[in-house]
Amino acid sequence: MTFFSNCFPSPRRAHFCVRTGGILKCRLIFFLALALAVNLFPAARAAETNDLSRWRIIDVPRDATNGLGRWIWAAQTTDKQFCQFWRTVEIPPGAQVTRALLKITVDNGYRFLMDGRELGQGTEWRALTQYDLTLLLTPGTHTLAVIGFNDFLQGGMICGFKIELADGKVLPIKSDDGWRIVPNDESGWEAKQQAAANWPPAKILGPQDSSPLWWTDRPMDFVTVAQFKPVEIPLWHRGWFHVALASLCGTALLVCVWLMAQLIVQNKEHQLLNLERSRIARDIHDDVGTRLTKLVLQGEVAQSTQPANSEVRRQLDTICEGLRGVLGGAGYQWRNPDRQ
């Protein structure tokens, strides 16, 4: 039985053998495909790199490096180092700038400011960035500030600023020893128009100081930033508006104080007038009351001299009663000042 069972396997065992063989074939195909991919991947990657290089060379203008200076940095280079560059630009009085393009890159990154306003940042030293500052340059002195950062090895900054005036003159500014290095503990230097005595000139990096990775003929990429526009200060942020608003508020406050003072004076006058009226009313009341009392007494005396049933006595009594009623009404009016 064992011999026959081995020569003729059961359906279950046959199914297991077929399934195991299918798994082995799948694994074999997978390893063959993996080996083929490993052999072809370097070639595909090289082809992709070549295509990318050609694309970058085509996109980078031929004159991308025109007007650039030399690589500059501080006298000492360290890892994780910040280097602050400062320089001023003088636009002649009455001159009109028709075009102003700044090209810059820093190994490894930078922040670019002009007159204290941050205009751009960069973190790829192999790319050259162009800023259009035409509308920001007016006659006078302008401050250029660059905060560079070096991650490790050699740090450097290279730039070129070409300013074209309406009269045909060109003001070229390049990265050279005309830039000053600002100490890191300095504050507010981004907008200063005068260099301090402790700001040393930048160091021009020679072949022994340059990195072998830096490009010499043209960058790997070229970035163009849209033209900057002057900052428009809203009406309510202008100084004259603040002064006018403060003057208006001050005037309104003075008017309110004056009206309150007038109200207080009027209330005081009204109180004094009421006191005077009360005094006059008292005097009149006293005088009238005295006179009426005198008349009543005289009438009673005259009444007593007449016979009891005489007509004259009766009339004198009527007169006295009327006078007493007048005295009583005057007393009621005096006891109630609101009816005076």
**CA–CA distance, 300 with 297 (Å, rounded to integer):** 5
Q: Are the beta carbons of 183 and 78 closer than 8 angstroms? A: no
pLDDT of residue 34: 56
For 162, phi then psi, to 5°, come to -110, 115
For 115, phi then psi, to 5°, come to 55, 35
pLDDT of residue 233: 78
pLDDT of residue 210: 80
Q: Any idea which architecture 72-232 has in CATH?
A: Sandwich (2.60)
Q: CB-based burial of residue 209 (10 Å sphere; 0-12 exposed, 13-18 middle, 19+ buried)?
A: middle
**If we measure between CA atoms, which residue out of 186, 184, 95, 85 comes closest to residue 143?**
85
- Asked if residue 108 has a cis previous peptide bond (ω within 30° of 0), the answer is yes
Structure tokens at 196: 């301090």
pLDDT of residue 159: 94
pLDDT of residue 6: 42
Question: What is the full per-residue pLDDT of the chain (340 aa) written as tens digits?
Answer: 333 334 334 444 434 343 444 555 455 555 555 555 444 444 443 333 333 333 333 368 888 888 899 999 999 999 999 999 999 999 999 999 999 999 999 998 999 999 999 999 998 888 899 999 999 999 999 999 999 999 988 899 999 999 999 999 999 999 999 999 999 999 999 999 999 999 999 999 988 888 777 877 778 888 888 888 887 778 878 888 889 999 999 999 999 999 999 999 999 999 999 999 888 888 887 888 788 788 878 877 887 777 877 888 788 788 888 877 877 776 655 555 454 4
226 Cβ neighbours under 8 A, 6+ residues apart: 132
Q: Radius of gyration of the chain from Cα atoms? A: 53
Q: Are the beta carbons of 108 and 155 closer than 8 angstroms? A: yes
- Domain range list for the chain: 2-59, 72-232, 241-339
CB atoms within 10 A of CB 146: 23
pLDDT of residue 17: 42
